[in-house]
Structure 1
């Protein structure tokens, strides 16, 4: 399958089983358009209300959320709906979904002029009604801090070294699990920092300062394993032999 996205840009494509696709359209200087095209590449729906498109995640029932700089956009399977963030500038550039949850977890940045914003609030974006709530975690995080638990819980690794587990429906922090030592995002995002990945019942957390990999059982809230690493981890992927989605 080949889809023409126009000029090269920092974008994304989301293919569906019927041959249709969601695709961003832009160039190296600007991107704010998302199109839903059928299998013959005919545009069935579009939005131009997503400046600075960055990040996407799929929720239950095939809903898809895109991060923008003026509040997220939800695609409900046929059309686009804009989320009102309550502020003129709101950026959710990193999103995490779960196949059984209608709610997407996102970062929440509101300072347009900040060189390095360190938010303590996360966004919970409800694809059922295109609304958003925020939850203050009491500690900051970064773009590699977001994951989803086995039952769709929102999981965030914060600066205090804890995994904050949040009920996405209520926004309640239901558990804070110690994982690694306290840390802070470096001024240059390319420098090594902790990475969170969640697969099944387990959260995998790298500790870049101590060259360790910590495995946490999210069901029990206990540490399942701790491994010394021969290198300083920068990125991580977890392979379990199962497809990420249908």
Structure 2
């Protein structure tokens, strides 16, 4: 499920006639500062589901949180649970794991997940892991961060440029597993699919290093989906890369991505 550096690309993973045929490419990397990788990803093309998780917690517990969270998500989805229901069960499982280990108190993860069905996307998220949509030569952020700086922006107290350098820009207001509540806030958006779309799921290790304008330029450029993931990773590593970096690109198999 997770490795220090892992790349996977396939042209067609749709095994059922009622699932759209999707190609995808994924990278995860510890970055240039951290020795361990607390990010995880989940790819279930047979279910039309992909997810990126960013773990947090001391004593390497972020690694545990993201692994436990995505394993629970996988198990619950395979048992027939809906995406939101599976996320809530992952929240409870991480809380249960933390209760057993005093050093793991407060561990948790952010998550962004997509379910692709005929004619639409459903995207669910908790925290500041993001989903973007490239369509008609434009990049649009589909998710809205559960973060302190986003709250300040919503209140009109700071603008987008100030948010980029705010001292509390990494403070999140929602995380799976770390809340005292039995239910975590999961936000959801739905989007009508277009065969020319490219969808990006990513942890903040990518968006903290690569501005949206650069992401848009890469997605607009020539080259395969695999080439685009390599360019995104190279851009992130060309900067400080002080966080783990994980992202998945998805597109229709019939899309012209070359």
Greater relative contact order (CA < 8 Å, ≥ 6 in sequence): 2
TM-score, normalising length: structure 2: 0.30
Larger radius of gyration: 1
More helix by share: 2
More strand by share: 1
